[in-house]
Amino acid sequence: MTTDVAQRKILIIEDDADLLMLVRHVLEREGYRVFVASNGADGILVNEREDPDLILLDLRMPDMDGIETLRNIRECDKKVLVVILTGYGCPDTIREAADLKVSEYLSKPFANKDLAGVIGKALLP
């Protein structure tokens, strides 16, 4: 992985359109190359196509939740860093996510500086 922020690619998988656009704006302002998906199925495809350094993944999404999305991603991508975005921190879900090698958790709602800090920490070499 490169250390230059401008070369770092982040995929946001989030079904809340307003939050998706806000997070995208914050990360682009930080200098990251940002890709987005509004559901798990699209997120899996974008991950395969763009090979991001990090995925911001919402746990609660319709059709395919974050855990199922992450299981599918891990089948073909063991190395991508994943930060879970959630407003619902159920212990069983957190355990499942940990088993799937999640780097960090960020509870909703969060401040922009917290988002940038968690991503920066996760991307440290």
Instruction: Write the pLDDT tens digit of every residue in 79-93.
Output: 999 999 887 666 676
> What's the structural domain count of the chain?
1
CA distance 121 to 125: 9
Residues 108-121 have a mean pLDDT of: 91
Threshold 0.85, pTM exceeds = yes
**Domain range for residue 62?**
5-119
Q: Is residue 125 part of a domain?
A: no
Instruction: Provide the terminal-to-terminal Cα distance of the chain, rounded to the nearest Å.
Output: 8
pLDDT, tens only, 18-69: 999 999 999 999 999 999 999 999 999 999 999 999 999 998 899 999 999 9
CATH number, domain with residue 90: 3.40.50.2300
Number of H helices, E strands in the chain: 5, 5
